[in-house]
Amino acid sequence: MNSEIRDLMRKFVGKYRSMSSTQSICIDDRQISRLRQMIDDARYVCITCHVSPDGDAVGSSLGLAHMLRALGKVAVVITPDAPAKNLMCLPGAQDILVGSHHPDAAARSFMRADLIVCLDFNEMRRIDRLVPMVDKSPAARIHIDHHLDPTVPADLVISSPASSSTCLLLFQILEKAGLACMIGRDSATCIYTGMMTDTGNFSYNASDPDIYRVISELLGRGIDKDEIYRRVWFTSTVQRMKLCAFAILEKMQLYPEHGLAIISLSRQELIEHGYTRGDTESLVNQPLALPGIVWSVFLRQDEDDYIKVSMRSVGDFPVNQVCHDHFGGGGHKNAAGGESHASLEDTISKIIGLAPSYDSYLPDPATPKSNL
């Protein structure tokens, strides 16, 4: 290749690299050396994540635990409650200490720890029954997360709301800390899982080029990405399919004037369909397949006086704001949650009532859609 062409190519690649790297995060070098020091100093590490732990929460926790064990540390993953069944295929998932099943063992473990790492949640109440245990522990604390407005008290906070998943952020941090060489196949499998689940299989928040560099790194560690996809997603049951079909057929309400879809399932309906945890995972995404629907709400009446609120959106519609302002929750702009203690009917009426105040976030129909 002659040198003129090589120079041209270099310029071209450089141009696109600088244009596309805007989403890649910057992690402060001082934070990285502090993290490295805290890990080096620790012997017994507890890792915890949010209640109803999802792929990113479990993936980042187990991913870090495997890496720490490779370093010779004792690493215990403690979740407030059990992960959904489809995540139990992850390497190390069987060893998770579930706080709701073994509260005493969890409390003892936090007391023994000299380091606690809090992953994938931004406020303490997201770890539910583990709050007093973590508060009581004398251990040093690291908080790594990608939700907005972190308030978790910690000696070291690495917060990156621009990151699509805590798993991606964790990999980048470990890499910068010189620990990437300790990430083996099991750790990589867990990290990949969270990157995949928090981006809907790389279908949203997934334009950061570094995601694909990291995937390539993980593939290099021997992960079977197709198998991970199958294990995590192809685990349906007839009951689950029928429940989701019922929810869409009988319980979906559309308000196209507000770009809104609401699906609700009462306690009674859940019981009648033999609901088990995880059965409605990703149901909230389905209405977004309808052109014109940019805001999808799923209400699940887990207890008579407790409704889990889940919201998803596309584009500029800020469901985290809706959840924060009206349902005591939060999350990301396009995926958020909260809770309601009103009846299902009153909760639906509340959403319909507040919908007009968010109309300004709807895409302007006069603006032609770009052709990508």
Using CB under 6 A as the criterion, which residues of the chain lie in contact with ligand 5GP when the complex forms?
Answer: 54, 147, 310, 329-332, 335-339
Q: Which two tokens stand for residue 245?
A: 């079909």
**Contacts by 69-75, CB closer than 8 A, 24 or more apart:** 70/182, 70/183, 70/184, 70/187, 71/39, 71/179, 71/182, 73/39, 73/42, 73/43, 73/44, 73/45, 74/43, 74/44, 74/45, 75/45, 75/46, 75/47
Nearer to ligand 5GP, 325 or 339 (CB): 339
Dihedral angle sign, alpha carbons of residues 93, 203, 244, 239 = negative
Nearer to ligand 5GP, 259 or 337 (CB): 337
- Interacting residue ranges for Mn ion, rule: CB under 5 A: 56, 120, 166, 198
Q: What gap in Å lies between CA 176 and CA 322, rounded to an integer?
A: 36
Residue 329, binding choice from Mn ion, ligand 5GP, none, Cβ under 5 to 8 Å by partner class: ligand 5GP
- For the sheet with 306-313, list strands across it: 252-255, 260-265, 295-303, 306-313, 335-340, 330-332
Query: What is the smallest separation between the CB atom of 236 and ligand 5GP, expressed in angstroms?
Result: 17
CB neighbour class for 19 (10 Å; exposed up to 12, middle 13-18, buried from 19): exposed
DSSP assignment letter at 305: T
Q: Which two tokens stand for residue 295?
A: 């805001």
Query: What is the smallest separation between the CB atom of 53 and Mn ion, expressed in angstroms?
Result: 10
Query: What is the smallest separation between the CB atom of 53 and ligand 5GP, expressed in angstroms?
Result: 10
Contact predicate 168/188, CB 8 Å: no
Residue 337, binding choice from Mn ion, ligand 5GP, none, Cβ under 5 to 8 Å by partner class: ligand 5GP
Query: What is the smallest separation between the CB atom of 298 and ligand 5GP, expressed in angstroms?
Result: 7
- Residue where the block lists tokens 């998932």: 93
Nearer to Mn ion, 169 or 243 (CB): 169
Which residue minimizes CB distance to ligand 5GP? 337
Nearer to ligand 5GP, 147 or 258 (CB): 147
Residue 330, binding choice from ligand 5GP, Mn ion, none, Cβ under 5 to 8 Å by partner class: ligand 5GP
Nearer to ligand 5GP, 273 or 332 (CB): 332
Residue 269, binding choice from Mn ion, ligand 5GP, none, Cβ under 5 to 8 Å by partner class: none
Query: What is the smallest separation between the CB atom of 72 and ligand 5GP, expressed in angstroms?
Result: 32
Query: What is the smallest separation between the CB atom of 277 and ligand 5GP, expressed in angstroms?
Result: 12
Nearer to ligand 5GP, 92 or 194 (CB): 194
Nearer to ligand 5GP, 141 or 147 (CB): 147
Angle between helices 344-354 and 319-326 (to 10 degrees): 120
Query: What is the smallest separation between the CB atom of 21 and Mn ion, expressed in angstroms?
Result: 22
Q: Which two tokens stand for residue 217?
A: 């790194």
Angle between helices 185-197 and 166-176 (to 10 degrees): 140
